[in-house]
Each structure stands twice: as structure tokens, then as C-alpha cells.
Chain A
């Protein structure tokens, strides 16, 4: 029988390590050092070339990418050659780590760098470092703070979406006729692109002149049913459209939770004489709390990125009433080509979201524990 104890594994590693020839180890390390040198040289040459310090260089940054790929391969090969069995094990993880570094960590760090630049694409002088000026400008930018204020409204509205979604999930979990049909139908809005929703609902259904929603509103006595002309009505209209798209997502997660819930608990509550509301409030809701917290956090993350419907339907108006941080960044970046400041706004928003969600997770964790 094979010995799988930790001590045996250590012994095995030691033997494998001792078996690797010194020349092979040196060759493996040499590979890594050589590839590192190539990468660093290409990088330094390109930086010096771009900054105008030296003339030789490459027309673009692609050689640096090739250098990184070469270095990654050399690192993998070097690991196996120098560390044998342990290197082989590292090879299982290394591609994922290197890929994450390339597409997540490096772009994030590069984003921080861009955020410190004064870089307008139309400027003939190109980008130049301006330290924390973008951050300073951000604190004095009324549009940004107005959009953040609107985000508070949109984020709080998630609670309303959650309540509706919970109600629908309970209904679809009950033994009602056509349950499967309704489950599919209720999911349809989620499958639609928000851009399509903007046009179908915001610009057609809610259109002031011929939209059915406007016609209905007139029939109900609202003389001028303009859904996007007054600040609060516009805000609620945008929120309603976004909710229509998103409620099915919350609903389907909650429905999955409800279906996984042990039936015995509810039956026990029934035997104890609990009515429907008591069963829900004292049994279903607490049991569903972890699922609810998860879906709320995910929904809030999505909500904080709300932009498409706003851009298409109101362009942030009237007077910034419906503007979101993302739609504002979109204008700064896209319409005004202000890359440095736009990135600064995005990075600051990212940090705010991280802090906000960390606090939210901690609070929800404590609350869940207390209720449990």
C-alpha cells in the first residue's frame, strides 16, 4: 500500500530534489535569468525610446508583450529544470498566476499610473505627469458628486427590487398553475440587453406622444405624462427600467434558495400553528438570509455600474438628475477624450466601491450571525 502521509511526501520531495543534477539546475536558473534579462532590456529600451532619451526602439509595445510571454515560458521551463517534481507542481498554478498578472494586476496598476497623468487625446503635447491633480480636481467636480448622490438613490432602490423579487420567488415557489411558464416568462427581461430596453421601453413605451405608457397615463388623468422631464420622475423612471431588467436575476437566485430549503422546517412551523406571515418572517427569511445577502451584494455591484440605460434614454438629464458615475465617466472619457482624468474618476470610484462593499460584507456577516 502506498504511503501518503505528509512525512512521506517530504521524503519523496527530498529524494526528487537530490536527484536533479547540478548542471540541470544551473541551466534552469540560467534560462530564467536570460529571459528576465531579455524582458528587462526590451522594457528599458522601449521606455527610454518612448521618453525620447534614446533613438533606437520599437514602433509599439508589442515586443514587450512578446518578452513577457518568453519570460513566462522560460520561468515554467526553469521551474521544472531547477526544481524537478516541485517545479512541475508549480507549473499547474503558474499559467493562471501569470495570466492574472497580465490581465488584472498589471492593468490595475497601469490604471493608477494613467490616473496621475494630464492626458487629453486632443492635446498636441501628449500625456504628462501631474501627480494628484486629478484627485484634487475630482473633489471639486460638482458633476461627480451629483452622480455619486444619485448612486445612493439607485443603490437604496435595490432593497425595493429585492422585496419585489422575493415576492415573485415565493409565488413561483408555490404550487400555482403554469408555474414553469411563469418562471420562463419572468426571466425574459433579464435576457434583454439594457440598450434594447432603453429603446423599447424608454424611447417607445414611455414616449411622450405615442407611447402606450404615456397614453395610459393620460387616460388615468395625468395631463402631460413626460417621464423624463422632471428630476424625480426621471430618476424613478430610470430606476423602474433598470429594476425591470434586474429583478428576474434576484428572483431566480432567491427561487433557487427557496427550493433548496428543507421542507421539514416549514412543516414544523405549520404544526406549531404559525400562519403564513409568521412562517415567512421567523423561518423562511432567516434561512434565506445568506442567499439574500449574496444576491444583494452582487446586485449592488451591478447597480453601481449602471450606465447604459441612462446614456441612451436621458444622457444624465434633466440637469444631471439621472446621471450615474459610470455615465459621467463615459462622457469625460469618450466625448471629451480626457483619459487621465477619466481614469482617475474610475479608479477613485473603484476604491470607493471596494471600501463600501467591504464594510457592507462585514456588517451583513455580523447581522447574519446575530439572526442565526
Chain B
């Protein structure tokens, strides 16, 4: 547990005095009837949450635009409390976001339609495919042609947008409306803030968890074969990357239910920079030391760590595992491993964002809904200490360092609305509606592209009431929240151009995985290219922003 967390708990510990104060206050409220009113309010909110979660109902088909509108309508309460009907008449807002898998902006349209009807504002939409998003945003920033008022954006781009003064600071009333304190610990400041100012309405929480096949890791035949192969450990879900490697190699050539069975699935094909996260998930347990916040660059110099022994070991693991993976794995990107392989029953372990858990049960294309389990990413028996240059074995056991990759999507309001008070309020009202507490619960339970990101999302009973299987959802939520709250979580640097670093690395990694260069040489090449990029972007500024993003 971190020191500040410990201190906070000490402060919150109730003593006799605070208990008596609380009891007296409660009694006073009870006599005035206020407690009854609060209870009614709480019950009404519970009713609302239960009601929206039945639209359309888990396992009752994919939600449609009409469902999104119904949910948006039911969740208008906080907006109505602060905005008069028709108050934004004549206001036109431009909203830029994604249209991945027909979600994101398409959902927002539905959610905001009742908001538009009530407030009188009108929204025009700029829909972008994932691949178009980064260049479109960068061009708008660099050429000073920001033509949108509200933006769906991931935290890694905060350096590009908030660092350049292009975003509008969140008003206090929005913080209250969205209950900003409900966010999970790792999404609280510095994430979403820049120079102490808050900019983001968080609608998503991103980290890589570990998805595995429960049927394969409980199969008696495979367990016997495992023992027969001379393994002393029990057959089961690997807890460390060393075990992942051993299991992957063991499963090569084995059959399960008459089919070829594979172990871990790597994603070696470039994916617009996003593929690098998957090497990151293999590397964090080796590279993120509990005594060091940094794991990708040195804090004071931005010297890349990609060619240190920890990262090279992760790269070598991929090289060693690939021959035991499907024959065409070299041409598999994360979309392939997640949606065409794992959900289709190929492979027994992958790291991915929480989408896999969301989709495994709900999607018709998934065949693993009943046999998938979740955990935080595997650990490592030893961890590289960049400060001493040695591998440490921790007294606490294997080192775990969940990869908090991408830090989730958020809604940002652009600074260009600041000059018009009505438009400013309208833009923030729209953002607050999308990031509302109740609406967020619906979004994380149904296919939306967004995952749990609030402490209030951890209420298992709500998930079960919505139709989720208790065992399944407990495993899923634990994997998410235990990653977010892990004391040694590896948080992504929010520095300008971070995807450029990833994209450069992907190019070199594909050469390494194709056998054109060895792991160390390839890693050295990546490090050299990263150094060049840091110089191009401005080393001193990058160092400052990197430190700020780490809270160092």
C-alpha cells in the first residue's frame, strides 16, 4: 500500500467523537424528515440504475439506437437540475470522436438526442475511424484549425492538446454533476489534468488484463500430459511470464477436444502504434520495478529503456514463443488475436483491454463466453532494477506490474468555446451528460468500447441484477480493479508524440520477429530512433512533460 493511501485511511478512521457527531446529525435529519428525502433520492437513483440496466437486458441482443436514446432520456436528471428547458436554443456544437465498431460516436448520438431535445442545442458530428483519429487531431492542432467544440480523446494525447492550451478547464459544477471523486485511483490526477487544472470527463478506464481459457487449464488430460512431461508444478493458469512461456511451448502440437491447442497469442503485426502495448504487457513485469515510477524512459534524461535487459527479455520471449503459436501468427495484429482468434476459440491466453470480457458473453461470434477467466497480467520471478543494473528477486514473490495502457477515453471541451458563455455551458453540459455516473454504468455493462472506471462500477450485485453470471463478472471486475489499484501499476507516459514512439518501435519489432535482426540489435535500433525523435520534439520539454505525467 502506498504511504499516502495509508495516511488517508488513518484520517478517515472513525473515533468516538466522529461517530457521536454522525449519530447526532442523523437523528436531527430524521426528525426533520430530511433523512427520508435522502433515502427517497437514493432509492430513486437505485431504481434508475436498475431500470436502465434492463435496456435491453444482458443477453437480449445488441443494444440499438432506440435503446441508447431511452437510456439518455432516463439519465437526463442531473442535466435538468442545472439547465432550463430550451436554455441552449441556437447553440450549435461540433463533436469529434470515433466510430469504431459502430460504437463511440454512434452511442453518443443516441445518448445526446434527448439532451438536444431538452436543451435546444444542436450537435454536428465528425466521425473518425481509429486509424484516422491521430492524424486528424494532430493536423488540427498543428495547423490551428480546431473545428470541433467537444472532443473524445484518450489521455495519452493530453500532452498534445492540454499542453498547448487548446482545452477548456472543467467548471466546478461539472465536477459535482459527474461525481468526479468516484473515479478509480489511477484515473484521478495527474490523469485528466494539466498544470493542476482539470480538463477531462472520464468515460473509460483502460488497462490490459489477462484473459485465459478455464476449460484448457482445468483439463485432466492436459494436466496428465503436463506431469508426464516432467513438470513439477500443477497444471493451471500461469501466474508468471516464465510459466506462460513454458505452457505455450508445452501446448505446441497438443490437441484439445480434437482441435490443435495453442498457448499464448502474440500480436507481432503493427497496428498503428497500438500493437506496442502488447509487447509492453509482456515487459512491464520485467521492467517496472516497485521502487521506480519509470519503466519506458529514464526520468531525468528521457533515455529509452527499450534496449535494457528487461525489454530485450520480453522481446526474446516473443521470438521464443512464436514457433509454438499458429503458423500465420506473424501476420496477426491485436484485433486478430482478440476477435478472430481468442474469441473464436483459438489460443488459451491473451492480454487485452476489457473489451474481451465485455464481448465474450454478449457477442454471437464468441464461442468462449462460458470458458473464459480473467486475471491481472502475469508477474515475473525477477524484475530488472534500472538503477543498479541488476535483476532483483522480491521478498514478496513475483513482481506484478499491470499495464495501464492508454488510460481510457475521455470527453474534452475545447478552449474555443470559452469566449461564449452560453456555448461554454452547453458544451460542458453535453460532456457531463455523457460522463454521468448512471449513464457510465450502462456503458460499461453493454458493448460500448468503454470499460469500468468508477469505484461505483465495482458493485457486483448491480451486474448480477443486470443479468451477468456472478462468477464470471467477479473474475472480470477483479482483473480490472486489481490492475487499476495495483501499487506497482505501469502507467503510460502522457507525453506529446507517444504514438510516434510506438509506431517506430512496431516497425523495428516486425523486423526482429521476422528474424532479420536479433532482439538486442533491434532494441538498440529502436532506442536510437527514439532518441532522435525526442530531440526532434524537444528533449527538455519532453523531460518536463514526462516528469509531470509520472507525478515525479
Do A and B actually bind?
Answer: yes
Q: State the A residues within 8 Å of B (CB).
A: 59-60, 118, 120-126, 143, 208-209, 224, 226-229, 231, 234, 313-321, 331, 333-339
Contact at A123–B507, with CB atoms within 8 Å? no
Report A-chain residues with C-beta under 8 Å of the C-beta of B78.
Answer: none
13 A-B residue pairings within 8 Å (CB atoms)? A60-B144, A120-B536, A125-B538, A208-B327, A209-B344, A209-B346, A234-B331, A313-B331, A315-B510, A331-B270, A335-B499, A337-B142, A338-B536
Among A123, A314, A316, A321, chain B packs the most CB atoms within 10 A around the CB of A123
Judged by a CB distance under 8 angstroms, whether B326 is at the interface is: yes
Report B-chain residues with C-beta under 8 Å of the C-beta of A121.
Answer: 138-139, 141-142
Report B-chain residues with C-beta under 8 Å of the C-beta of A336.
Answer: 497, 499-500, 503-504, 533
- Asked if A337 meets B500 with Cβ closer than 8 Å, knowing A121-B139, A123-B538, A317-B330, the reply is yes
- Asked if A118 meets B500 with Cβ closer than 8 Å, knowing A314-B331, A317-B331, A319-B510, the reply is no
Chain B 319-359 per-residue mask, 1 if CB under 8 angstroms from chain A, else 0: 00000001111110100000010001010000000000000
Binds A, one of B46-54, B287-295, B456-464, B511-519: B511-519
Report B-chain residues with C-beta under 8 Å of the C-beta of A59.
Answer: 144
Report A-chain residues with C-beta under 8 Å of the C-beta of B269.
Answer: 314-315, 317
**B516 touches which one: A118, A229, A234, A320 (CB < 8 A)?**
A320
Q: A216 → chain B, closest Cβ, in Å?
A: 16
Report A-chain residues with C-beta under 8 Å of the C-beta of B135.
Answer: 333-335, 337
- Asked if A331 meets B503 with Cβ closer than 8 Å, knowing A122-B497, A126-B142, A315-B270, the reply is yes
Contact at A319–B511, with CB atoms within 8 Å? yes
Contact at B499–A208, with CB atoms within 8 Å? no
Contact at B500–A321, with CB atoms within 8 Å? no
Among B269, B330, B346, B515, chain A packs the most CB atoms within 10 A around the CB of B330
Residue of B nearest to A315 (CB): B270
Report A-chain residues with C-beta under 8 Å of the C-beta of B141.
Answer: 121
Q: A123 → chain B, closest Cβ, in Å?
A: 5
Known: A224-B327, A228-B331, A335-B272. 11 other contacts (CB 8 A): A313-B331, A314-B269, A316-B270, A317-B331, A317-B514, A319-B511, A319-B515, A320-B510, A331-B507, A334-B131, A335-B499
Interface of B is mostly: helix
Report A-chain residues with C-beta under 8 Å of the C-beta of B138.
Answer: 121-122, 337
What class of interface size applies to chain B in its complex with A? 35 or more
Chain B 149-172 per-residue mask, 1 if CB under 8 angstroms from chain A, else 0: 000000000001001100000000
10 smallest CB-CB distances across A and B, nearest first, come from A319-B514, A122-B497, A226-B328, A224-B327, A208-B328, A335-B503, A121-B138, A228-B331, A318-B514, A121-B142
Contact at B163–A315, with CB atoms within 8 Å? no
**A123 touches which one: B270, B328, B514, B537 (CB < 8 A)?**
B537
**B331 touches which one: A118, A143, A318 (CB < 8 A)?**
A318
Report B-chain residues with C-beta under 8 Å of the C-beta of A224.
Answer: 327-328
Q: B307 → chain A, closest Cβ, in Å?
A: 17
Contact at A335–B331, with CB atoms within 8 Å? no
- Asked if A318 meets B500 with Cβ closer than 8 Å, knowing A120-B537, A226-B328, A335-B273, the reply is no
Residue of A nearest to B140 (CB): A121
Contact at B346–A124, with CB atoms within 8 Å? no
Report A-chain residues with C-beta under 8 Å of the C-beta of B164.
Answer: 124
Q: B34 → chain A, closest Cβ, in Å?
A: 52
Chain B 38-76 per-residue mask, 1 if CB under 8 angstroms from chain A, else 0: 000000000000000000000000000000000000000
**A106 to B514 Cα, complex, angstroms:** 43
**A354 to B504 Cα, complex, angstroms:** 30
Q: B261 → chain A, closest Cβ, in Å?
A: 14
Contact at B514–A124, with CB atoms within 8 Å? no
**A338 to B135 Cα, complex, angstroms:** 10
Residue of A nearest to B516 (CB): A319
**B513 touches which one: A60, A234, A318 (CB < 8 A)?**
A318
Chain B 476-516 per-residue mask, 1 if CB under 8 angstroms from chain A, else 0: 00000000000000000000110110011001001111111
Question: Which B273-314 residues have a C-beta within 8 angstroms of A?
Answer: 273
Report B-chain residues with C-beta under 8 Å of the C-beta of A228.
Answer: 328, 330-331
Chain B 214-244 per-residue mask, 1 if CB under 8 angstroms from chain A, else 0: 0000000000000000000000000000000
Judged by a CB distance under 8 angstroms, whether B134 is at the interface is: yes
Judged by a CB distance under 8 angstroms, whether B541 is at the interface is: yes
Contact at B327–A229, with CB atoms within 8 Å? yes
Report B-chain residues with C-beta under 8 Å of the C-beta of A339.
Answer: 142
Report A-chain residues with C-beta under 8 Å of the C-beta of B331.
Answer: 226, 228-229, 234, 313-314, 317-318
Report B-chain residues with C-beta under 8 Å of the C-beta of A234.
Answer: 331
**A337 touches which one: B134, B328, B511 (CB < 8 A)?**
B134
Contact at B160–A122, with CB atoms within 8 Å? yes
**A56 to B271 Cα, complex, angstroms:** 44
Report B-chain residues with C-beta under 8 Å of the C-beta of A125.
Answer: 538
Report B-chain residues with C-beta under 8 Å of the C-beta of A337.
Answer: 134-135, 138, 142, 497, 500
- Asked if A208 meets B326 with Cβ closer than 8 Å, knowing A121-B141, A123-B536, A335-B272, the reply is yes
- Asked if A143 meets B507 with Cβ closer than 8 Å, knowing A121-B142, A124-B164, the reply is yes
Chain B 438-467 per-residue mask, 1 if CB under 8 angstroms from chain A, else 0: 000000000000000000000000000000
Report B-chain residues with C-beta under 8 Å of the C-beta of A320.
Answer: 507, 510-511, 514, 516
**A306 to B340 Cα, complex, angstroms:** 27
**A145 to B500 Cα, complex, angstroms:** 21
Q: B217 → chain A, closest Cβ, in Å?
A: 22
Contact at A122–B537, with CB atoms within 8 Å? yes
Report A-chain residues with C-beta under 8 Å of the C-beta of B514.
Answer: 231, 317-321
Report B-chain residues with C-beta under 8 Å of the C-beta of A319.
Answer: 510-516
**A231 to B327 Cα, complex, angstroms:** 14
Q: A149 → chain B, closest Cβ, in Å?
A: 13
Report A-chain residues with C-beta under 8 Å of the C-beta of B504.
Answer: 336
**A368 to B228 Cα, complex, angstroms:** 73
**A336 to B344 Cα, complex, angstroms:** 33
